[in-house]
Chain A
């Protein structure tokens, strides 16, 4: 069943220590950077009539994660109010990221679990959702890139790192689809209906390269590249402006609380 949407079992055992090392380093840096940022938040004054009155480090952390699943984040009404294109772009990025994050967690659970807790049909459905979610995310990132580099409003200001983040994020997702495409091309694309984006990428790669064996051989390397880029992104989040993923949930919540 793992072949439906799991990829780690297909990676040679010799690659795995490197994979786990990168994962541990990325998570450690993420935790350290997040603690640093959130600890700085707690250095601010407590204001009695503030939406965050009395909130301590734990409450702030909780709020920033819980509110990722709020209407304001999932449906982005404040962004839609100003621009439908940007609203759709944001929703693509948010939903796509959440779906892929949940899928990766599920995949990891399946890998370590001694019990196969997902039926074949359910696994196929999960694979479909992840594939479409990934496509959605890629589309959102493509719009964001286009907006940044080709169609941005006349009034615009750039700072070091602004574009890099977006490019890194896009590289992670694009590598994911390349990897999936290679895997699916190697396994014969018989489940193509369940992987519309991944299978499409696979068919394209097969047509371009023409050598199924070469594609299959490149899989572990693509896997490591994808994982490396993803771990770099995770580690970079708290040291970059991408930390707005968490901070913005609190300011949006506060704005809504105060407007009421």
Chain B
């Protein structure tokens, strides 16, 4: 058996993929519908880095390395150039999943890309660029932003009360804690205003998403066990979360890495608040005469299908005119913050964020309401040196200002 030149050890190309993911590699019809929707391609213009090519090249690797011919004649060597191009393609992607949403044969790309990236890490060719430091940083600081762990909860508003134990826990997430404090502070203030008793885990660590999404899985179990056990010790029954990426991770992958069913369920902050909205308990006393467009974050709309709840909250704002973006709900345009691309290809990511803000301006929005700390960070950064007028605000930040 010949060996892969980059790693010098034979590697299975199938073992970390599910059956459905392996079938997906054979299912692509190369209709090119996904290309018409790819927000990364809007910026890079390079079709060779897109979904059909990633699927084709990885599928060919699987068949060449582990198919019948390889069984009979041995595994051929993988040309380093092929792996390098595949790695570049896999990481020039925000994993926003819009390609999967429009795929006529239903390939779930949002789930497929992390699995393929994990294989690139195993092969020694991933992650990409500045993403390579992320595992070390998370291991040392428990967040991917290289910020002191002691400052994780420095933003807690003085007027909120955090219980030691409660039925509801709140998972802050690193992006909220370090780059989008108005969002998480707003979430706590809204819960307080609604009389919801909640607890925090003072030693909360990264949820694992930033590592999971770039394919670095070595730390996952440690991070997740620490968080699950920490919240479970506070007697929670529901874990509320604001960050869509955390939400996706907690809901879809925590139990797998924890090795058992979670002792609590996962709920998005807007799902927690919605019944109070319906019961008329969320009273926004101040009107806001502005045109507001809501941006559906990729991992909230496509990732976890939380679509109506944020709109229900926004609908409580008196005097506001709510408009939909040209691309919204399951087909929303990615802001460029996801998939580790911020770190690896910051210029691409910034231009994607500006494309989203241009969409907001095209429908006359004065405020672009968002519900994701990564979007929050990226859009605010993209506003620097840009002459657009749209104001970017987090949903909970917006609501707390009107309480």
Q: Which residues of chain B from 19 to 66 have a CB within 8 Å of any chain A CB?
A: 19-24, 26-33, 35-36, 38, 41, 47-48, 50, 52-53, 56, 62-63, 66
Cα–Cα, bound, A254→B105 (Å): 10
A13 contacts chain B at the CB level, 8 A cutoff: no
Nearest CB of chain B from residue A95's CB, rounded to whole Å: 16
Collect the chain B residues with CB atoms within 8 Å of residue A76's CB: 104
Cα–Cα, bound, A248→B103 (Å): 10
Interface string of B346-362 (1 = CB under 8 A from A): 00000000000000000
B236 contacts chain A at the CB level, 8 A cutoff: no
Collect the chain B residues with CB atoms within 8 Å of residue A43's CB: 12, 14-15, 22, 66
CB closest residue in chain A, given B41? A155
Interface residues on chain B, number (Cβ under 8 Å): 42
Collect the chain B residues with CB atoms within 8 Å of residue A162's CB: 30
Collect the chain B residues with CB atoms within 8 Å of residue A79's CB: 31, 104
Cα–Cα, bound, A52→B21 (Å): 10
Nearest CB of chain B from residue A195's CB, rounded to whole Å: 31
B68 contacts chain A at the CB level, 8 A cutoff: yes
Q: Which residues of chain A from 99 to 136 have a CB within 8 Å of any chain B CB?
A: none
Interface size on A, as a range, is: 35 or more
The winner among A52, A155, A244 for most chain B CB atoms within 10 A is A155
Interface string of A152-182 (1 = CB under 8 A from B): 1101110100100000000000000000000
Q: Which residues of chain A from 140 to 161 have a CB within 8 Å of any chain B CB?
A: 152-153, 155-157, 159
The winner among B16, B26, B36 for most chain A CB atoms within 10 A is B26
Cα–Cα, bound, A45→B22 (Å): 9
B107 contacts chain A at the CB level, 8 A cutoff: yes
A74 contacts chain B at the CB level, 8 A cutoff: no
B102 contacts chain A at the CB level, 8 A cutoff: yes
CB closest residue in chain B, given A47? B18
Given the known interface contacts A43-B15, A44-B21, the answer about A248 and B68 at a Cβ–Cβ threshold of 8 Å is no
Nearest CB of chain B from residue A151's CB, rounded to whole Å: 12
Interface string of A213-252 (1 = CB under 8 A from B): 0000000000000000000000000000101101110111
Given the known interface contacts A52-B20, A157-B35, A159-B30, the answer about A82 and B102 at a Cβ–Cβ threshold of 8 Å is yes
Interface string of B60-88 (1 = CB under 8 A from A): 00110011100000000000000000000
Given the known interface contacts A43-B15, A44-B14, the answer about A36 and B30 at a Cβ–Cβ threshold of 8 Å is no
**Are A159 and B32 in contact, with the CB atoms below 8 A?**
no
**Are B35 and A41 in contact, with the CB atoms below 8 A?**
no
**Are A157 and B32 in contact, with the CB atoms below 8 A?**
yes
**Are B53 and A37 in contact, with the CB atoms below 8 A?**
no
B388 contacts chain A at the CB level, 8 A cutoff: no
Cα–Cα, bound, A170→B130 (Å): 48
CB closest residue in chain A, given B50? A157
Collect the chain A residues with CB atoms within 8 Å of residue B272's CB: none
**Are B30 and A243 in contact, with the CB atoms below 8 A?**
no
B106 contacts chain A at the CB level, 8 A cutoff: yes
**Are B52 and A157 in contact, with the CB atoms below 8 A?**
yes
Nearest CB of chain B from residue A109's CB, rounded to whole Å: 31
Collect the chain A residues with CB atoms within 8 Å of residue B48's CB: 157
Collect the chain B residues with CB atoms within 8 Å of residue A86's CB: 31, 33, 104
CB closest residue in chain B, given A165? B30
Taking a contact as CB atoms closer than 8 A, the residue among B21, B38, B47, B56 that contacts A241 in the complex is: B56
Given the known interface contacts A36-B68, A43-B15, A78-B106, the answer about A241 and B23 at a Cβ–Cβ threshold of 8 Å is no
Collect the chain A residues with CB atoms within 8 Å of residue B35's CB: 153, 155-157
A60 contacts chain B at the CB level, 8 A cutoff: yes
CB closest residue in chain B, given A251? B27
Cα–Cα, bound, A157→B36 (Å): 11
B17 contacts chain A at the CB level, 8 A cutoff: yes
Taking a contact as CB atoms closer than 8 A, the residue among A47, A55, A78, A244 that contacts B26 in the complex is: A244
A28 contacts chain B at the CB level, 8 A cutoff: no
The winner among A32, A251, A255 for most chain B CB atoms within 10 A is A251
CB closest residue in chain B, given A35? B68
**Are B23 and A247 in contact, with the CB atoms below 8 A?**
yes
Interface string of B370-401 (1 = CB under 8 A from A): 00000000000000000000000000000000
**Are A155 and B32 in contact, with the CB atoms below 8 A?**
yes
Given the known interface contacts A76-B104, A82-B104, A152-B32, the answer about A55 and B19 at a Cβ–Cβ threshold of 8 Å is yes
Collect the chain A residues with CB atoms within 8 Å of residue B66's CB: 40, 43
Additional A-B contacts beyond A78-B105, A243-B26 (20; CB < 8 A): A36-B63, A36-B68, A44-B14, A44-B21, A47-B18, A47-B20, A60-B23, A78-B104, A78-B106, A82-B33, A83-B33, A152-B32, A155-B38, A156-B47, A159-B30, A244-B28, A247-B24, A248-B27, A255-B103, A255-B105
Q: Please, could you name 9 A-B residue pairs with CB atoms under 8 Å apart, sorted by A? A: A37-B67, A44-B19, A47-B18, A82-B33, A86-B33, A156-B47, A159-B53, A162-B30, A244-B29
CB within 8 Å of A: which residues of B?
A: 12, 14-24, 26-33, 35-36, 38, 41, 47-48, 50, 52-53, 56, 62-63, 66-68, 102-108
- 10 A-B pairs with the lowest CB-CB distances in the bound complex, closest first: A255-B106, A247-B26, A44-B19, A248-B105, A247-B27, A155-B35, A157-B47, A36-B68, A43-B14, A44-B22
